[in-house]
């Protein structure tokens, strides 16, 4: 049995006197999809910021495959295998779909040789092709991203997060603005991809029914701390969670 791919241990992050994260804990296994929910301002996005090195925590540590990466810079974490998508669109506007995915492959593999070896270049291009095909984006590979409709933009972002063979990916509201049909399709793609590539996934999403379909584990964050964590259906039947955090959403989901 392999150990966790990602761990956050008792992470506290303060902005002035306010603790956005307060002894926050998270553990993600390879291939696991781990949902993170909680009210606005609970610290979900901030937890991604600490894991990716945007902020250094005041206390606690972040581990990747058991290695302490708490003091590593962001780009080193990216190269070590942490992928991330943002709550707002994070694509390079001057590039095509293929160019965007390729840029991530190159960033992860730290390509800066002015004349890279043709074989290495071909391998990276093939990786970008494979990702676009996996996510059904082959037909828009050469389209400028500024010309893509929102649905495809979000799908391309998803493909880009999985570029460079990450060990764990962090997805911040990847289904925002999508129809239920589109979102369910993406649930399938994420689920399949993490199995195929053995990638751990942490996903922040307000749509609880979708998370129940996708996640192996669900963690509820409240005021920077974990309120409850466990098997999704058990977490959602926790009376306090139903009342305090999810209200009508839970009733609509029929859980
Ligand atoms: N740079 C910052 N300076 C000060 N406070 C911040 C900063 N970034 C985040 N916060 C605060 O930290 C808290 C957690 O914010 P965060 O964005 O992580 O919440 P969230 O759970 O992602 O919420 P949402 O569901 O709205 O995206 C909020 O109260 C926010 O105002
Ligand atoms: Mg957020």
pLDDT of 252 higher than 60: no
Residue 12: name the closest of 50, 54, 39, 65 by CA: 50
Residue 224 Cβ contacting ligand 1 at under 6 Å:
no
46 within ligand 1 shell (Cβ under 6 A): yes
- C-alpha to C-alpha distance for 176 and 198, rounded to whole angstroms: 25
Atom number, ligand 1, closest to the C-alpha of residue 16: 4
**Cβ of residue 35 lying under 6 Å from some atom of ligand 1:** no
Residue closest via CA to ligand 1's atom 10 equals 20
Q: Residue 225: what pLDDT?
A: 96
The ligand that comes nearest to the alpha carbon of residue 18 is 1
Task: Supply 124's token pair.
Answer: 């990276």
Report pLDDT for 155.
93
Q: What φ, ψ does residue 213 adopt, rounded to 5°?
A: -70, -35
Residue 196 has pLDDT above 90, yes or no: yes
pTM comes to: 0.91
Question: What is the average per-residue pLDDT within 176-187?
Answer: 92
- Quick check: CB of 42 below 6 Å from ligand 1? yes
Topology (CATH level 3) of domain 6-81+166-253: Rossmann fold (3.40.50)
User: CB of 219 closer than 6 A to ligand 1?
Assistant: no
Q: What is the pLDDT of residues 43-62, one digit of tens each?
A: 999 999 999 999 999 999 99
State the pLDDT at residue 118: 83
Q: Which two tokens stand for residue 24?
A: 């926050």
Residue extents of the structural domains in the chain: 6-81+166-253, 93-160
Interval 108-137 mean pLDDT: 86
Structure confidence at residue 87 (pLDDT): 60
Provide the token pair at 100: 């965007």
Answer with the residue of higher pLDDT: 135 or 116. 135
- Report which protein residue has its CA nearest ligand 1's atom 8: 46
Verify whether ligand 1 is closer than 6 Å to residue 41 (CB atom): yes
- Residue 28 pLDDT: 98
Q: Label each residue of the chain as H, E or C.
A: CCCCCEEEEEEEEEECCEEEEEEEEEEECCCCEEEEECCCCCCHHHHHHHHHCCCCCCEEEEEECCEECCCCCHHHHHHHCEEEECCCCCCCCCCEHHHHHHHHHHHHCCCCCCCCCHHHHHHHHHHHHHHHHHCCCHHHCCCEHHHCCHHHHHHHHHHHHCCCCCCEEEEECCCCCCCHHHHHHHHHHHHHHHHHHCCEEEEECCCHHHHHHHCCEEEEEECCEEEEEECHHHHHHCHHHHHHHHCHHHHHHCC
In which band, very low, low, confident or very high, does the pLDDT at 213 lie, cut at 50, 70 and 90?
confident
pLDDT at 181: 93
């Amino acid at each position: 049995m392999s150990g966790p791919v990602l761990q956050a241990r008792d992470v506290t992050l303060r902005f002035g006197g306010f603790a956005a994260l307060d002894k926050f804990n998270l553990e993600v296994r390879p291939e696991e999809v781990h949902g993170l929910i909680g009210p606005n301002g609970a610290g979900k996005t901030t937890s991604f910021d600490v894991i990716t090195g945007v902020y250094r925590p005041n206390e606690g540590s972040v581990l990747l495959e058991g290695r302490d990466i708490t003091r590593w810079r962001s780009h080193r974490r990216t190269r070590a295998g942490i992928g991330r998508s943002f709550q707002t669109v994070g694509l390079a506007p001057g590039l095509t779909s293929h160019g965007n995915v390729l840029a991530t492959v190159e960033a992860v593999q730290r390509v800066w040789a002015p004349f890279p070896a043709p074989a290495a270049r071909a391998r990276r291009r093939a990786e970008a092709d494979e990702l676009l095909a996996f996510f059904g984006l082959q037909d828009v590979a050469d389209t400028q991203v500024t010309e893509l409709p929102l649905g495809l933009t979000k799908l391309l972002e998803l493909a880009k997060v999985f570029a460079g063979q990450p060990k764990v990916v962090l997805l911040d509201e990847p289904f925002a603005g999508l129809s239920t049909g589109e979102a369910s399709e993406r649930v399938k793609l994420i689920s399949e991809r993490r199995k195929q590539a053995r990638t751990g996934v942490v996903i922040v999403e307000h749509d609880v029914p979708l998370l129940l379909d996708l996640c192996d584990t669900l963690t509820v964050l409240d005021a920077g701390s974990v309120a409850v964590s466990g098997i999704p259906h058990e977490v959602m039947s926790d009376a306090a969670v139903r009342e305090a955090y999810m209200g009508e959403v839970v009733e609509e989901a029929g859980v």
